[in-house]
Structure formats: C-alpha cells, structure tokens
Amino acid sequence: MKKELINRILSSLIIVPISFFFILKGSFFFSFFLTICFLISCHEWFLMSKKKNYLFPGVLFLVFSFYSVFLLRFGNEEMVTIFYIVIITCISTDIGGYVFGKLFKGPKLTKISPNKTFSGMLGGFFLSIIIMNIFINNKHVFNNFNIKLDNNLDFSLETFVLILFISTISQIGDLTVSFFKRISKLKNTGKLIPGHGGILDRIDGMIFAFPFSYLILLTDIL
C-alpha cells in the first residue's frame, strides 16, 4: 500500500504539470494531447471489453466525450470557463475522495467499488467546493496564459450547484468504469501510469463530466 501511494504521488507530480502544459498551450499542442488520450482510452476500452458486448457503445460514448472536450476548450469564453471548471472540479473530487476515504474510512458506498466510502464521497464534494472557490477568486491568473474566462464568473448559488453537479457526475463516472472493470475481472484499465493504472482509470470522472456539462451549457439549465 505504501509503495502504491508513493508511485501514485510521483506519477501525479509528473503527469499533472505535463497535462496542464498541453492544456494551457492550446491549439495544436492540446489537440495532439487530446488525440493521444483518446486513442489510448479506446485501446484500453477495447482490451477491457473484447470478451463482452459493450465495446461499440463504449467507443461511441468516448467519441462524444472527447468531442465535447474539444468543443469546450476551443469555444467562447463561457465554454472555456466550463472546461476549466470541469477539470479542476474532477481533479479536486478525485483527490478529496481518495484522501478523505483513506483518513476517515467508514461505511462502504457500494459493492461495485469496495474502496469507495461515504466519507470519500463527501470529501470529494468538500474539496471540489474549496478548490473551485480559490480558482474563481484568482481567475485573473489565467490572463497570463492568454486564456479569457467569463468575467461574470463568481461563486454564486448557480456556480455552487454546478460544482456539486460536476462532482456528482464525476463520481458516477468513476463508479461506472469500476463496474465495467469488475465484470471484466480487472483491477485497472491499464498499466500505463504507475500507482494509478491506465488512462481511463484517471479520467473516468472527466469522460462523464465533460459531455454532461456541455449538454447543460447547450440547454441552459443552470
């Protein structure tokens, strides 16, 4: 467990800066990065589902998910803002769920993923709200990277509900991928990232949060 935690931390220290480099660079760099992630995700899904009957719907969902990422990243200011809200909320939810789950343990959330606890779920909500509040209050920093966010973005009730929604969808995405791993009798979707598993193990929440957030933006529900 200790070795796995160390590998997880070291991998994160490498992956997060590299990922944000491609994200902040935008245009060609991000398109290239997104394409690589998509192809690896499809490959992992294929290996996970090759003996089952859910290959095609899974790939279709990945196509829609990654396309929504592209549309949000290169859209107008409101879309770009949602793009960063999704990324930061999902990462915060993942970290909060892992840390609070390990610290407080408690009742299991579901049999689908035995390591998931109610304390982890609540920790994911809590940390995502705290981190997003910091992000919103310091959004001017993104101007240094020529990234224009929505000037009307503030920590309103609407934003609070959006963060909780994204965090919830992210955790549902995590559990959904865990469900398919379970029926495929796999612990991880791959071995690409030490301490984490595959690409899908790391972005399972995001691949659900992005398309649903995009649909919310289109329908103007919030």
Domain locations in the chain as residue ranges: 2-219
pLDDT at 94: 93
CB-based contact 189:199 (threshold 8 Å): yes
Burial 53-82 (b: 16+ CB within 10 A, else e): eeeeebeebbeebbebbbbbbeeeeebbbb
Give the 3-state secondary structure of residue 35: helix
CB-based contact 8:196 (threshold 8 Å): yes
Residue 205 has pLDDT above 70, yes or no: yes
Which residue has better confidence, 129 or 191?
129
Which residue has better confidence, 138 or 12?
138
